[in-house]
Amino acid sequence: MEDAVVNTNSLPFGAVRTLALPSGVSPALTLAAASLGFAVVQLDVTVVNVALKTIGSSFGGGIAGLQWVVNAYTVVFAGLILTSGALGDRLGAKRLFIAGFILFVAASMACGAAPSLLMLIGARAVQGVGAAVLVPCSLALLDHSYREPGARARAVGIWAGVAGVALAGGPVIGGLLIASIGWRAIFFINLPLGLLGIWLTLQYASESPQSRERPLDLAGHIAAIVAVAALAAAMIEGGAVGWSNSLVVAGFGAFIVAGSAFLAIEASRSGPMLPLSFFANHTFAAASLVGLLINLAFYGLIFDLSLYFQQMKNFTPLFTGLAFMPMTAVVVVTNILSGQVSAWLGARLPMVVGQLMFLAGCLCLAAVAASTPYGNLWWQMVMMGAGIGLTVPPMTSALLATIDRGQSGVASGVLNTTRQLGSVIGVALFGSLIAGRDQFVPGVHLALYLSAVVLLIGTIAAFVGIRDEQPAKCQN
């Protein structure tokens, strides 16, 4: 293969350079590396949940300590996604992606070898840093490798589908590893996956355009990190200890102050980390809103249904994972198919149809009772899985299509920040609805109805805001 030359004269802030792509560059293998990066992040979202009881037996520490085994990862992940995406644009997505993989693998080894609960929580926080780097930079690599909108849509579908396999397999893999080896094995499994991802990236991925001339905007980075992390922590703790708790109220206050400061800083800078003009593009704004809403509904309901199966149906963690397999298998298949459909028909139709299908599944499941047999539940869950599977890939590719490639890292950071916050809000809010056993089933019903309302808003946003014609690129 001859060296390809990409002219980047259109890049903002003087990032004008000629980028020679090495002869080993392969978009398909770059896609494999990017998908592995997203897959290990998703795997660690679910695989840890089934190990909490065993970890508690090893270390003690009570429920609060075990919650922070999960939350340390979640809060750091949410707080750093936007900053990591912006740094990927500045320093190069490939370089930062490899660094994120190395950090994630090293932190995973530290988790597996942790001698105490406190050390495990600290290592999980470092894992969250690696995850925050991997997700936006993986999308930036895809955006750089797949220039044509249809090809990019198909690539995003595969990227999401591979991550769906990891998400679906997490509880099952975790249950098998814990039963056969022990809980530490759920972290050591990241070593071979990480080494493969790093090797593929080094060998076959090209570096994305860099914008070192762009001002660092340190104040903007700090304000964004504090705002997102404060909101995530307040939502998580509010669902656990009550929304009137003084620390929870302080967390929301910190979010308001830091968020307002972030908006003021970005509006006043000539070279902001996140140009607020991005949101003037209807497609960018609508895709970001849909990402927030659909994750709120999906992950909030996954949390409630997981507890429903274990507390109401007395399923083991392994059987709970298997109960979700039909739904998550459909997520994987529809992720891939949705990439093809959006390449042919545009993003708006699958986003609208997907959210309506998810909404219908919620309403059909709203009659669930403690005695409802699993045979009467799985098909509604499949509808929900098909709905999110149809929605996410076109949502992602539509948002990326609105942004110059030199800023695809910060754009993917925005989308993944809204999605991660949606997940945190959904779990905290819907978890608070089922706090007592007597209100468990009514709380699930209310969560399903709230999800239907949220998805209706998302459907309207997609129908009104998503433009299937090639949009003008967002400019600063």
Closest CA to 93 of 218, 203, 223, 201: 201
| pLDDT given at position 279 | 92
pLDDT band at 352 (very low <50, low <70, confident <90, very high): very high
- In this prediction, residue 214 carries a pLDDT of 63
pLDDT in tens, 143-202: 888 888 888 888 888 998 888 888 777 877 887 888 889 889 999 999 999 999 999 999
Decide if pLDDT at 18 tops 50.
no
Q: How confident is the model at residue 351 (pLDDT cuts 50, 70, 90)?
A: very high
Residue 195: CB atoms within 10 A of its CB come to 13
Burial class (CB in 10 A: 0-12, 13-18, 19+), 192: exposed
**pLDDT band at 117; cut points 50, 70, 90:** very high
Q: Where are the domains of the chain?
A: 4-206+269-465
Residue 302 has pLDDT above 80, yes or no: yes
Note the pLDDT tens digit of each residue in 60-89: 766 667 778 888 898 888 889 988 888 888
CATH 1.20.1250.20 corresponds to the domain 4-206+269-465: yes
SS3 14: coil
Listing DSSP states for 262-324 in one string gives HHHHHHH-SS-SS-GGGGGSHHHHHHHHHHHHHHHHHHHHHHHHHHIIIIIS---HHHHHHHT
Which residue is associated with the tokens 């909490």? 52
The DSSP 8-state label assigned to residue 278 in this structure reads G
Q: 12 vs 470, which has greater pLDDT?
A: 470
Say if CB 159 and CB 31 are below 8 A apart: yes
DSSP state of 467: -
Q: In angstroms, rounded to a whole number, what is the distance separating the alpha carbons of residues 9 and 166?
A: 39
Q: What is the tens place of the pLDDT at every residue in 357-399?
A: 999 999 999 999 989 999 999 999 999 999 999 999 999 989 9
Give yes or no for a contact between 88 and 100, defined as CB atoms under 8 angstroms apart: no
Instruction: Give CA 388 to chain center in angstroms.
Output: 13
Band the pLDDT of 475: cuts 50, 70, 90: very low
Q: Say whether pLDDT at 23 is over 60.
A: no
Torsion angle of C-alpha atoms 333, 334, 335, 338, degrees rounded to 10? 130
Structure confidence at residue 436 as a pLDDT band (50, 70, 90): low
Residue type for 27, please?
P
The pLDDT, as a whole number, for residue 12 is 32
